[in-house]
Amino acid sequence: MASTVIRLGGAPSPLTLLLNSYAALSADDAAAVEGALGEVRTHPVSTDFQLNEVHDQPMTLISGWAAETVLLEDGRRQIVRLLLPGDVIEPGEARRAGLSVTPLTAIRVGDARRLVALLNAAEGQLGRAWRRLRQAAQNRLVRHVVRLGRLSASDRTADLMLELHDRQRRAGVAAACTMHLPLTQEMLADHLGLSIVHVNRTLQQLRRDGLIYYQGGRAVINEPERLAAAAGFGR
């Protein structure tokens, strides 16, 4: 994770920090990213509201969490991707893949049309950061397949926590051993491919083992190394 400090008038946006974590940006690059952000809108949390029915343009998530989901006929749901602050949402791509984009909390999104155009055309460090960021998103999907296919409930959960912590640290919204976790156990279940009840028991297990404390929208990771060992494959 690159450690260049970006100095601007206000606090840098999560996306700027995220890009900077993949390749150190110059002050000019950072300013260009900040400047390309368009109008900001707010959406409430909503079960059935679909972001991709409202906006069809790229957006960046400024605050709050969202998800790309699939709804099965019998009502079961699978969260395919979690979207965190700093992430770029592309409703068009989601729709082509049969996914709905749903807010999991209240969210603020910024119009990212100009931003995505800028990033796609970028060379040098900025272009590199953008490509790595996209590659990382793809890698997370691959890793999620492995989690669902081959890890036990507690390993899955542990591995997801490490992923979420890493992503939030990159985006500058998490401390060394604590992070936001604004998900209900039902949302976790829908992402991890488990039942609500079992997620509850798995979290209790991890807490008893001193690995993860989770309460009121925040989680504390005490010993990342031990947690990583629990997750059972390279991170």
Partner DNA sequence: CGCTCAATTGAGGAGTATCAATGATTGTGG
Partner DNA sequence: CCACAATCATTGATACTCCTCAATTGAGCG
Residue with tokens 């209790």: 204
According to CB under 7 A, which one of 19, 115, 129, 203 is a site residue for DNA? 203
**∠ CA(148), CA(150), CA(152), 5° rounding?**
80
Question: Of DNA, a copy of itself, none, which one sits near residue 145, judging by CB under 5 to 8 A according to partner kind?
Answer: a copy of itself
Question: Of DNA, a copy of itself, none, which one sits near residue 139, judging by CB under 5 to 8 A according to partner kind?
Answer: a copy of itself
User: Burial, 230: exposed, middle or buried (Cβ in 10 Å; 0-12, 13-18, 19+)?
Assistant: buried
Find the part of the chain contacting DNA (CB under 7 A) among 22-30, 116-124, 170-178, 180-188.
Answer: 180-188
Q: What's the min distance (Å) between Cβ of 152 and DNA?
A: 4
> Applying CB under 7 A, does 153 fall inside the site for DNA?
yes
> Applying CB under 7 A, does 88 fall inside the site for DNA?
no
Find the part of the chain contacting DNA (CB under 7 A) among 11-19, 35-43, 159-167, 197-205.
Answer: 197-205
Please answer whether residues 63 and 11 qualify as being in contact, where contact means their C-beta atoms are separated by less than 8 angstroms.
Answer: no
Return the structure tokens found at 68.
Answer: 């790309």
Sheet holding 66-71, edge to edge: 77-83, 66-71, 100-103
Q: What's the min distance (Å) between Cβ of 139 and DNA?
A: 23
